[in-house]
Structures are given as C-alpha cells and as structure tokens.
Amino acid sequence: MGDLTERTMDVKETRYKLTLCDGTACIHNHSKAVQQALETELDKHGLKDSVSIHLSGCLGMCTKGPILIVNPGYIMYGRVQVEDVPEIVESHLVNNKAVTRLIITEDHLYNRFFRIFGDVDFFGKQMRIALRNCGIIDPENIDNYLSLRGYEALAKALETMTPGQVIEEVKKSGLRGRGGAGFPTGLKWEFTANQDSDEKYVICNADEGDPGAFMDRSAIEGDPHTVLEGMMIGGYAIGAGKGIIYIRAEYPLAIKRLEKAIASAREHGLLGENILGSDFAFDIEIRLGAGAFVCGEETALIHSIEGHRGMPRPRPPYPSVKGLFGKPTLINNVETWANIPVILLDGADWFNTVGTETSKGTKVFAVAGRVQNTGLVEVPMGTTLREIIYDICGGIPNGKRFKAVQTGGPSGGCLPEHYLDTEIDYESLAKAGSIMGSGGMIVIDEDSCMVSLARFFLEFTQDESCGKCTPCREGTKRMYEILTRITEGQGQPGDIEKLQRLGEMIKHSSLCGLGQSAPNPVLSTIENFREEYEEHIQDKKCRAGQCTALLSYTINDKCVGCGACKRVCPVNAIEGVRKEKHRILQEVCIRCGQCYEVCKFDAITKA
Amino acid sequence: MLTPLQAIKKKRAEAVNRIVSKGYLSTKRVYVGMATCEIAAGSKEVMDVFRQAIANGLTDVYLSQKGCAGRCNLEPTVEVVEEGKIPVKYGRVTPQRARDIVERHLKKGEIIAEWVI
Amino acid sequence: MSQMITITINGKDYRVEPNQTVMQAADTLGFKIPRLCYHPKLSIEGACRVCIVEVEGQRNFVASCAFPVSDGMKIKTNTHALRRARRDIVELIIDNHPMDCHTCERDGNCELQRLAASMGIRARHFAGERKRYEEDLSSEAVIRNPEKCILCGRCVRMCSEIQQVHNLTQAHRGFQTVVMPAYDLPMAESVCTACGQCINVCPTAAFVEKNYTQELFEQLNDPERVKVVQFAPSVRAAIGEAFGLPIGQNMEGQLIAALRKLGFDYVFDTQFGADLTIMEEANEFLERLQNKGTLPMITSCSSAWMKCLEQFYPDLIDNVSTCKSPMSMQGAMIKTYFADKMGIDPTKICSAAAMCCTAKKYEAERPELMFDGMRGVDVVVTTREIAWMIKSAGIDFVNIQPEKADHPLGLSSGAGAIFGATGGVMEAAIRTAYELYTGQTLVDIEVEGVRGLKGIKEGSLTMDGQEIRVAVAHGLGNACKLLEVVRQDPQRYHFIEIMGCPGGCVGGGGQPYAAINTIPLDDKALKKRAQALYDLDRGKTIRRSHDNPDVQKLYKEFLQHPLSSVSHKYLHTHYKAKLPKGIIPKEAKKIEVTQ
C-alpha cells in the first residue's frame, strides 16, 4: 500500500523544499498568513513549480515560531513574519543567499531527520526524540553517534551534575515509563538512589513481547548507543556499576548491534573503569530471553536473569528496594532510556513543552493493520488518534470504513470511532477503556470481527500466562473457551455476563500485569461492540464475515450454471445442472470459501 | 587531564575526522536501510549492488547503512544525498532498481521520479 | 521495641506491630482470611489469590499474605466483591480438578474440599476442559498425581527451600503448567529422596504415599503366613492425632493392642532395633576414633538422607556409618534370630513395619539390604496407613486396653525411644559411647545440647580428656549446609547425626495430616510429639541401650559381639554413588557409579 506518486510536484524539478511548522503555537503566531505570503511571493517570482511548501507538525520550538525550514541546507528561520517573506524568497531562493538575521541555530537533538527525510507527509506530524537517530546514522558505527553529540549527555552529567541533580532533571522533565505502566521515571530513580546498598543494578527491559510490536527492536537496531548512554546516566544517578540489557532472543540483529555497540563503547573508554576520565565505572552485559512473554514483567524478568523460572512475585517489595539478587534495581524500558540523553542535553524545561499536562514527551507507536502506511511513528503526547491514523498513516485503504483501533497490544482495549479525537496520553487512554501499553496500535476496519479479535488476543495471553496464579491460568482459559464457543456458533444466553464476571475478577485478582490486563480486549469489545456479541450468540451471525462457522454461502440469481464452483468444492456440497442455477447444500458445506473465490459472476453471497 | 566534556568533544572531533576520511565528503552519499524489516524485504541484496558498483569503479560515492526509518510498508529504502540538493528517497528498491539507480542517478544524475517516496 | 501502628479492618481500628503482612496482622486479631498457598515456613508465593483483600487506595485486590501493613491502612476482608471473587477463584480450581472426592485418599481431609465448602460453591459456572495426566506410580514411596494438583507451589517450595533437594518445579506455561521433576522423569528416576515432605504440605491428593494397606490386609488374612510387625518410636507419638486425640499423646500400649487385633501374630518394637543400632554404631564410632578411621562419622538411619548423600555427596560415602537403620536391623533379626528361636521358616514370615517415614518404603526395597536371599522388611506402611487400617477394621483405638510388646525383640531402653526426635540418635549414642569408652557412668544422661528445633546444633563432650565435637542437623536443607562445612573443614566434627525430615522422624513424611486448625510442620506440634518421646524415656528404668537385657541376650546367643562377622553380615551394609539424569558428581575421588 502506498502510492509513490502521491506528490503533485515533479520531484526532478524541485530545487527547494520549504517546511513550515503547522503546530498550534505557530498557527497562533500567524503561520497561516506566512504560508499565504509565501505562495504569493513564489508565484510572483515564477518559482511555484520548483519550490514546494510542506506543513509539518509542531517542531517543538514554539517560543521562536513561526518556523520555516529551507532544504537543501537545512536552514532554519525563526519568528518569520509576513513582512520577511519577500526578502526570504528573493535573497535565499532566488539568489542563494540565506537571510542571516532570521536564522536560528537551536540545534535540538531530534531535529535532524528533516534534513534527510523527504516525505513530510509521514514525518511532518511526528517528533522523533527517542528515534532521533534511527534512519540517520549507521548503527554499527560509533563515530556516527559521536558526531551527533553522542555521549555528551553522559559527559555533562559526569562533569557538571551530581547524581541528585541528574535525578532532579529527570523528575522535572515529567518523563513516565514507556513500557506501559507510565510510572514517573524520576521518582523511580529517586527511590532506587535512596536505597543504601553496596551493589545496585540497572536493567533495560528489551523483552518486547507484544505481538506485532517492534518499537524497541527498531530503536535498538537503529541507534543502540542511545540506550547504552541512557543506562550509564541512570547508573551514575542511582549509584550502580552494572547494567544488564535483557533482550529477547528472537531479535538477533538487535543483539548483534548491541554487542557491537558495547564493544565499541568499551574501546573508546565509554564503558568500564574511569569513564571519560572520571571516577565513574560502569559496564553492561546482555542477557537473552527465551521466548516467554511474561518475562517482560519486571519481577519475572529479574527471576529469569537470576536463573529461576520466569514467574512474577507479589510487589511490594518493589525492584527499586529489592530487585536483582536482592539488591536495589532500576529497571526501565528501551524507549525510556532512549529519552534520557535528550532530557539532559536539551533540558527538562524544553522536554516539558512537549506533550500534555500529565504526560510529557513523545511516544513511539508501531502502527499496523488496515492503514495506508504502516510503520513506526513517534508523536508528541496529545496527538489525537485521528491524526495518527488519518494524517500520518493515510487512513483506511480500499475505501473501507474505520471500525476500531486497538492500543497497547494484547493487554489493551479496542476503541471505536467516537474515541478518535482522544488526545493520546496515559490518563485519557485509560479513561477511554484502553491502555497506552508499550505502543502497539492496530487499526481495524469493517471487515474484522471484534469477537474473533478478542479471542485472538486472549489466545495469546492464555498461552503466555506463566501459570502461577489461579485467576490468570484458569480464568483466561475459561474465557477463551466461551469465546471459542461464541465464534463457532455455540454461544449461549448468559455468555456475555459470564465473560464480564470472569474478566472483572481476573482483572482485579491477578498477581501481575499480564493477568490484570488480559481481559481488556474482551471487556472493551463487549463494552463498545456488544451488538456484535449478541449477533453471534442469538442470531448466529458474524457481520464482518470472519467467523467461518457463522458464515453461510448461498448461490443467488446471478448464477449462470457454469459449474466452476461445483468443480472446486472439496466436499461436493454443490449440486446443479449445467446452465441452471446451482445450489449449495448447507449441511455439507464446510465454509472454505473456494466457490466464492472462483465465481466470476458474483453469484455467491457470503453472509 | 581532560574533563569529561572536553574528552567527549575531542572524541567527537576525532569521529568526524574518521567519517570524513572514509569519504563522507564525496559528492554523493548513498544510504541503504538495514533494519530487520528491511533485510527481510531484501535490502542486503540491494546493498550488494551498490558495493559491487563501487568495486567496479564507481567513484565519489560514500555508501553507508542506516537503521529503521519507520517506513515499514515501503521497504527496502535507499537514500541519495547530494550537497546542495534535496535528498532523494527511493522506496521498494529491488536489486534491479538499485542497478538502475546506479546507472541513471549516480552516474548520470537522473532522479527516477516513479520510485521516489 | 518498634512502634505500634494503627490499621482499620472492616471499619474498626486496631493497633498492630509494623513489619508484618496484612494476613499476619489479621491472624493475630482473629480474622482468619481464607488461604491456600500460604505457609508460614515457606516463602511467600501469592499464587492462589484466595487470600485477596481490599485495601483502600489500591486499584486491584491485593494478596494479604504478601502485602505489608502500614500506618493508616484501611482494609476490608469480606466485601461482596471479594466474596464473589474468592468463590470464583476456588471454583476455577475445582473446574480443573477431578470430581472423584468419594474415591480419593483425602476425602474428608482435603484443604480444597474445606475451602470450597466455606466459599459456598453450589454450582459450576465455568466448567470446561480439564487437564489430563497419567499418575506417576513409579516410586515405591511417593505417588504423584498431577490431575489433583492445584498448583499452590507448596511442594516446590518445601522441596527447594527447606529440603533443598530441588526435585520439583512448575514446568510449561498457562493451562499446561504442571509440577514435575526435571525432564518429566518418573519420580523413581529423579533426585527425589522419598522424604515425603511434599505429602505433608500438599493440600490435596496430588502427592500421597504408595499405599500398601490392601497388600497388608491380604497378608493378615493368610493363615500360612506368620505375621510379624514392628513400629517406630514416632508412630506411637503421633498416631493419636489420626483419631482426634490431642497432639503429643504416647499411644504405645494402645497401638500394640490394636496391631494384635488387626491380626499380627507378633508385635515387636523398633526401639529394640534402635538399641541394637546404638550398640553397633557406638562401637563403630569408637573403633574409628581409636584407630584413626574416617571421621567425622555420619549416622545412616534416615533413608531419605542416604539417597540424598548418594546423589549429591558421594565423596563423603566413606564417612557414613555402615550400620543399617533400626527398622532394617530389626527386620534382619526377625528373619534370623527370632525365626530360628521359634523354629519358624523365615520364608513364611511376613515382616511388616509401621513407620512415620515414606522413605522407609524405598529403603525396604534396596537390594543391598538383602541377606540370604531375603528382605528384612516385606511391607512398610506409614502412620496414616496403619491408622486407616485400624479404623477400617473397626477397632476402637481410643478406648482399647493397652498391651505390651512381644519378646525377644520388644523390650527397649529410653535411648531407643528418643530416636524419633532430632538429636535423639546422637544422645542415645553418647549415652553408650561414653560409658563404653571411659568405663564411667554418664551422670547427665539427658544431653540438652542436642535437643530442640534449631536447624543445626553443635556440641561437645569430653571423654577421658579427649574432646569429642558433635553436630546434629534435621531437614535435608540443613544437612546439605552441614555437609558443605564438613567438605571445607573435615576436622571440625567427630560425629554427626542427620535426620532427613524437619523436626526429626516425628515430622516424617508418613505422619498424620495436620488437623483442621493446625498447619503442617507446625513447630509446636513437632515439639509436643518429641516431648512424648522424651517423657517416655524418662519413664523407663532402663535408659541406656547397652543396659537392655534382651539386647545383651541377642549378642550372647547370636551376634557374639558388636562388629563381629555375624553382625557385619546382617546389620551392616555399604553405599554407592547414584547419579540420576542431570547430576554431575563432584570430582573428589574416583567413585563407582550405579544408576
């Protein structure tokens, strides 16, 4: 999917590309007027065909808006007023001389991608902070990372900040854990730092288990050093000398790139003793997972590193008090670590300007499912679902209607259309009945059955349940059995109530996050799509046409009697004479759909 | 004894030197996306095409790899960056298309619009 | 003295100690929150979720066994939502459990049954697929039935934390989770030591002892057989509990009478065998002491301990006493000395033993203990089994008139009686060894230093100017700890007693299940049972093994003297390293391996 010629400009002729910030603050500052002035001016100089104007989302420099970026050359003009436009066009675009008095040199770490990427439609509304270097640097070459202010945050912390000050900065930034729980990162650092212990550990949770999620994988494959730097800063802040990256074994390339990164860092004296000439010593080790989704849960992960069965344990005590090998342990997600160098270099005050009141910064989403452009998207908190799905990812292909969006992986809920304008942050998604999770976002169109989808997710969580606690181990199995019956046409009155009863109990009684969130897809689909459940149970109908047991194929009047369907039917369920309308025997039909596929006359109705 | 900030600035300078000495300042820079999703789509073969071309005498081109650019449905991706020109990003690059890019874009300067994202 | 804090339970304020869990605090206040996987001696699991309570400010229910109290905490233990959740959780366990209560060993005495009754489960809303597993009948001692397992994890924790054998673990995931030995090996091929502690803590019949009662009843009804039985000291101290009597009542006389009523021709006392063991072992120890033999010497009457040693500490095999256990010595004497004396053909004797121990079932089958082509003991039944047999035969155990054991293998000294308590073997050995070595009477005959429930006890005594350092350990976990010390420092001790079960044999794997309001392994219960034996010892006139006239007669008439060739043939044995799959021997010396 994705029309490569969607641009109206002939790219061969384009000499300049202008990017104008279309964020709220810049609009407030009359960026629209600037845009119009630009268009008029370009027209005047006959440059309309060789200069393209693109609108991007908030570039994060709201105090200096409106912002105009000119490429090639990545010249950034700030505080552009309508009066400045003629001068810019004349001097820069015609005579190739930049207007120096308007140039701003604020070099935020994340701004780099505008220099290289051409497709503003996809990247325009994004703000790539955690993924700032992904797609820009060669991840296997530490020189690239160094050349882009790599490890400067670490140097700054070591030279000019005490551990306490580092923690204060992280607290001030408002960063919240990106693994899904959204716990204030600075607070977690503070708790761990306050523990009195000779040994402490820093762990990076790279056991990304959500099916279809690849945020962490891409982040590590594209920019492993940012994770290492973040962990080192964390180690410095809490007083730890050892870091462990727990990464799932199913990510061999990411593991290879991490190993290479760690080796390079060691070579450069950035890991080991006396880092950058200071007293700080830190080293990082990689541990592989072994195919257990539950080991993404922090206490299960810690048990796995210790060599025990990956089963969670009750908290308190929390890992910050008693974690790996009984020592205070700071454990954060890959994306959280990736944000840390930015916070130290660009400042917590700046970081605070991105996002909403309660959720600062950006979030990476892996958008998949029925959208034009699937991919990895990083947007500031507060972006609406509609913006992501329609503006960035191009909407639903093939003219189908949007049905729901599932956020948070198998632990999240399904949000129907009236939630599309929800501004994404931890609280609003929870209020809507879903969760942020680690960032999975699956778009569902009218051709998907919500009951089947809920069953699919429950199958996953049931399979991955560690089996320790009764509600999750037994309860999800029973819910799964009920859902299977429903999708097979064996649903009974009272099934929905049973699902809700079980789901609520499992949610409130389970030991760990896996169990506590496993019923979410089921409960949210019952909440928002109850009619579909009722249709399955009472009418034995699946409106999306996905549950094969509830489908029936019938031959309609368009049939010309060619016999093509009869020939392909594997169970001889079709009878009929040549040139006469054929008939499908419902009792024999196994609903494989072959007849539907071969019929050239649209004579088979699937319902 | 250098302070950490001084040390890192020195490292940065050295790193930039190394990059430059490897030909970064060439006229053309070619980047091939090499994350797992891209490799699965066939970017390794595409990378080989460019390597082969340089081995066969294609001059003044700096070839490097990148991580995931996020354009997952348009992989493999190849970027051609020239100083003073807008970067060109190609999507759905097959080894054959890569050869065409070598011939038409890198050697002759022709941007192949149909493949541009 | 820490400051008390205030918590609110169900609306009322209470002052409690800090640094404890909600469940612990509630227990002291009389709120007995229902629970399943919790056990005070084992680590906190938080797995069953039956003990959930509502704590204000927490989004979800919390497990009261794990959640710590804090000042100002508001707790609710019995809301409608909680009751429904608990009820549903217990029902979910039952939905994956066989519905064969009437034919189950734990019918009437099952924690799951009691819990379900207290939850008021009257209908099953969520019935579905039930797990299916084969019963593991491979072991002679412990049967494993995964279909009845409710995955509380008590056996895993017991086997790993207290016994430190680490035989059991949860394997696989989700609905397929099952507790099993590594590689899903049959129990008989695993590192299981047959100590039976898993049976003691199991709330259902997922672990039970191998039942020989039917076989024994058949033997009892066979007129061709001469039925002889012996019973261990710990059996008499605990069997009353199976009949509802308070813990710690010595039912020796009643048991002997009941056994006779069951149909046994001769009832002997394992305590006689214990005296015999002391004779052999004390002499063995003195011989090693005087002739620079391998020290420290380690006792060998605990069969679970012996399997543990052969598997994990084969380098210390030479340290172990070659003496058989009292039961096996007794069995050997029954089929030789006794049979000969009474003119009975030993092949016609059915030698049974009522033991507190499940490992004794394993021991009775060991080929090394055979002599003249015969086994010393043919059938071993546990306290639970013999209690059931007595009930099943309609014998009024509580009110029966006590009787005395038969001669020549029924008389015992006080030293033999205390064998059941941890430290008892050491104490009995000291009583004899001291007097044999020094020729003087041991005045302080009750050696307090080796009594009590401390995991590893150390002591020393002086015999004729020579300091003898001794150590006592109970529970395999403590045994392993002690043996590590011995490996590092072989000079540290001269004589070591090891009992495989926590508390000693009184806490054996075959003892009656904990009564309704007590828990398994309760320290108070173990102390009371041990006290019954110490009181028995005090009540006897003969308190030293070597003073037992029947033992002296046995030597005069048959064995000649301790450590004679006759003794060696019938009363001693040898041990070999055993390496179940996955165990790698420690390279201490070249060892002969048997699988």
In this model, does residue A9 exceed pLDDT 50?
A: no
List phi, psi (to 5°) of C329.
-65, -45
Query: Which residues have CB under 8 Å from A347's CB, separation 6+?
Result: A169
> Is C334 within 8 Å of C409 (Cβ atoms)?
yes
A and B: number of Cβ contacts within 8 A? 168
Residue of B nearest to A364 (CA): B70
Give the model's pLDDT for residue A247: 95
**Chains contacting chain C through 3 or more C-beta pairs under 8 A:** A
Give the model's pLDDT for residue A607: 75
SS3 state at A449? coil
Residues 255-284 of A with CB under 8 A from B: 268, 275-278
The Cα A57–Cα A113 span in angstroms is: 13
The residue with greater pLDDT, A46 or C20, is C20
Query: Which residues have CB under 8 Å from B52's CB, separation 6+?
Result: none
The Cα A238–Cα A196 span in angstroms is: 10
Domain count, chain B: 1
- Whole-angstrom CA distances from A462 to A441, A455, A475 are 21, 10, 9
Give the model's pLDDT for residue C1: 54
Within a domain: B18: no
Give the model's pLDDT for residue A107: 59
Within a domain: B3: no
A445, β-bridge pairs: A402
Kindly indicate whether the ipTM for this predicted assembly is greater than 0.90, answering yes or no: no
Asked if the peptide bond before residue A471 counts as cis, ω within 30 degrees of 0, the response is no
Give the model's pLDDT for residue A114: 53
Report angle CA B6, B11, B12 to the nearest 5 degrees: 100
DSSP A52: E
List phi, psi (to 5°) of B65.
-115, 160
Q: Which residues of A touch C60 (CB under 8 A)?
A: 507-510, 516
Is C170's CB within 8 Å of A309's CB?
Answer: yes
Of B4, B37, B111, the CB nearest to A278: B4
To the nearest whole Å, the CA of A428 is away from the closest chain C CA by 17
Within a domain: B78: yes
Q: Which residues of A touch B8 (CB under 8 A)?
A: 146, 151-152, 154-155, 276
Residue of A nearest to B113 (CA): A11
Tell me the average pLDDT of chain A. Answer: 87
- Judged by average pLDDT, the poorest of A22-31, A150-159, A216-225, C261-270 is A22-31
The Cα C196–Cα A183 span in angstroms is: 45
The Cα C591–Cα C313 span in angstroms is: 11
Is A314's CB within 8 Å of C46's CB?
Answer: yes
In this model, does residue A596 exceed pLDDT 80?
A: yes
Within a domain: B19: no
Q: Write the DSSP assignment of C515-580 as a string of letters.
A: PTTS-TT-HHHHHHHHHHHHHHHHH-S--SGGG-HHHHHHIIIII-STT-HHHHHHHB----EE--
The rounded percent of chain A whose pLDDT value lies above 90 is 52
Average confidence (pLDDT) over A227-245: 95
Average confidence (pLDDT) over C277-283: 94
pLDDT digits (tens, 9 = 90+) for C550-578: 999 999 999 999 999 999 999 999 898 88
In order of start, what are the domains of chain A with their CATH numbers? 2-124 (3.40.30.10), 142-349 (3.40.50.11540), 362-445 (3.10.20.600), 450-539 (1.20.1440.230), 551-606 (3.30.70.20)
How many other CB atoms are there within 10 angstroms of residue A477's CB atom? 23
Is A150's CB within 8 Å of B12's CB?
Answer: yes
pLDDT digits (tens, 9 = 90+) for C535-546: 999 999 999 999
Within a domain: B9: no
Domain C142-209 has CATH 3.30.70.20: yes
In this model, does residue C585 exceed pLDDT 70?
A: no
The Cα B17–Cα A585 span in angstroms is: 76
pLDDT tier for residue A136 given thresholds of 50, 70 and 90: confident
Give the model's pLDDT for residue A76: 79
Could you tell me the pTM of the whole model?
0.88
Assess B79–A contact: CB distance below 8 Å, yes or no.
yes
Assess A388–B contact: CB distance below 8 Å, yes or no.
no
Among residues C468, C236, C274, the alpha carbon closest in space to that of C356 is found at C236
Average confidence (pLDDT) over C321-328: 94
DSSP C405: P
Within a domain: B14: no
Domain boundaries, chain C: 5-78, 142-209, 213-571
Among residues C50, C258, C451, C533, the alpha carbon closest in space to that of A509 is found at C50
Pairing of strands B78-82, C52-55: unpaired
C5-78 and C213-571: identical CATH topology: no
Within a domain: B110: yes
The rounded percent of chain C whose pLDDT value lies above 90 is 83
Contacts 24+ apart (CB under 8 A), A580-587: A581/A555, A581/A557, A582/A555, A583/A555, A584/A553, A584/A554, A584/A555, A586/A552
Give the model's pLDDT for residue A28: 73
Assess A6–B contact: CB distance below 8 Å, yes or no.
no
Find the radius of gyration of the CA atoms of chain A: 28
In this model, does residue A24 exceed pLDDT 70?
A: no
The Cα B61–Cα B83 span in angstroms is: 12
Give the model's pLDDT for residue A10: 43
The Cα A132–Cα A114 span in angstroms is: 10
pLDDT digits (tens, 9 = 90+) for C25-36: 999 999 999 999
In this model, does residue A408 exceed pLDDT 70?
A: yes
Q: Which domain holds residue B63?
A: 25-115
Q: What is the CATH number of the domain that holds B100?
A: 3.40.30.10
pLDDT digits (tens, 9 = 90+) for A33-43: 888 888 888 88
> Is B3 within 8 Å of A277 (Cβ atoms)?
yes
The amino acid at residue C167 is N
How many other CB atoms are there within 10 angstroms of residue C315's CB atom? 17
Largest CA distance in chain B: 56
Alpha helices in A239-293 (DSSP H): 252-267
pLDDT digits (tens, 9 = 90+) for A549-565: 888 888 888 898 888 88
Write the CATH number of the domain with boundaries C5-78. 3.10.20.740
Token representation of residue C372: 């003249």
pLDDT digits (tens, 9 = 90+) for B6-22: 888 899 889 888 888 87
How many other CB atoms are there within 10 angstroms of residue A277's CB atom? 16
How many other CB atoms are there within 10 angstroms of residue A286's CB atom? 16
Token representation of residue A573: 């369920």
Residue of A nearest to B73 (CA): A374
pLDDT digits (tens, 9 = 90+) for B106-117: 888 888 878 887
Is B116's CB within 8 Å of A118's CB?
Answer: yes
- Whole-angstrom CA distances from C252 to C401, C428, C463 are 11, 20, 35
Q: Which residues of B touch A131 (CB under 8 A)?
A: 70
Determine the distance from the C-alpha atom of residue B58 to the mean position of all C-alpha atoms in its chain, rounded to a whole number.
14
The Cα C35–Cα C23 span in angstroms is: 9
> Is residue C489 classed exposed, middle or buried when 0-12, 13-18 and 19+ CB atoms within 10 A define those classes?
exposed
In this model, does residue C591 exceed pLDDT 60?
A: no
Of B9, B64, B73, the CB nearest to A138: B64
Class of domain C213-571: alpha beta
pLDDT digits (tens, 9 = 90+) for A64-117: 778 888 876 667 788 888 888 888 888 888 887 878 888 876 656 665 555 555
Strands, E, within A137-216: which ranges? 201-206
SS3 state at A273? coil
Angle between helices A224-238 and A215-222 in degrees, nearest 10:
100
The Cα C225–Cα C344 span in angstroms is: 10
The residue with greater pLDDT, A27 or A266, is A266
In this model, does residue A58 exceed pLDDT 70?
A: no
Q: Which residues of A touch C128 (CB under 8 A)?
A: 477-478, 481
Dihedral sign from CA coordinates of C281, C282, C283, C284: positive
> Is A524 within 8 Å of A416 (Cβ atoms)?
no
Give me the half-sphere count of Cα atoms (radius 13 Å) on the Cβ side of residue A325: 10
Find the radius of gyration of the CA atoms of chain C: 25
> Is B87 within 8 Å of A117 (Cβ atoms)?
yes
pLDDT digits (tens, 9 = 90+) for A160-210: 999 999 999 999 999 999 998 899 999 999 999 999 999 999 999 999 989
By annotation, the residues of C acting in catalysis are 281, 284, 301, 321, 360, 363, 368, 505
Give the model's pLDDT for residue A374: 84
